[in-house]
Amino acid sequence: MTDITLAIVGATGLVGKEILAILEERKFPVKNLVLLASKRSTDTVLSFNGSSIKVKELTQDSFQNVDIALFSAGSSISEKFAPIAAKSGTVVVDNTSFFRMDPSVPLVVPEVNKHALKHHNGIIANPNCSTAQLVMALKPIHDYAPIKRLVISTYQSVSGAGKEAMMELENHSRYLIQGKVADPKEFSHHMPFNLIPQIDVFEDNAYTKEEMKMINETQKILETEIPITATAVRVPVFVSHSEAVNIQTDKPVSVEKCRELLTNFPGVTVLDNIQEQEYPTPRDVSGKDDVYVGRIREDISQKNTLECWIVADNLRKGAALNAVQIAEELIKLPVNVA
């Protein structure tokens, strides 16, 4: 399918603007582009392929003749409008958490499980940003030597909490340097020069909702009940999430073999030369499409176990890029995307 009519729901947000840029970069075959947001954003004009497009208010009638809609406007918006869009014949790619664990909704990272797209019922879920980059690194290892257990620690940037969170980090960092104090609004504690071992709310098992998202989504995407434990930490970094991951497999995987598997996997770049102090950092990875992996080493405390460091731009592969890649796969399907 070519000459697509595509809508972006939440077009004025961080991820919405990133989707717009990536569509242009990748020359996605958009014939008509519909930009949708809340009423307060309807005077906004955004640029795409040299044209100026006015943002329209999202309503129940917004999806007439729309082939694909990329949603990134919050779970409550997706809950209400995604079924309306799907009923009108639009295929929804939803970037929120609302549909991810719905057994009737495929949860997709195209390099990992694009086969799941064949079974959608009008709605496809984009995984959590930290999950997307994680499974990109896990998939080639898991295919070679099935994973038995994962221990994950994340170091997640404030952009994962939205543009207001980014502004708070910037402003409150400046205040702190000037000797001023401002109460946090976007975070549970002061974010500048600090770490907060809580992302989202705590659940009954004392894990946070973010941690449970990673656990449940990883199992769904890889189609296996791997035992997983996770600790998610918010760090004073603007863009790009980092993860320290301990991977236990059912047979030995050498460091050299791991590097080979990851190097040959699309969308993954190995940056791992400790002699030259080369490994991925959030600052260096920001703005790039690939998932970067470094610090690959054998766990000296456990057999058949590797340690690695995974970094990716959470606004791109963790959100906008993955959504666009799903749309690219949809238009390759032999049947109409709707």
Q: Catalytic site residues?
A: 129, 241
Residue matched to tokens 């690959």:
296
The two structure tokens encoding residue 164 = 């207001």
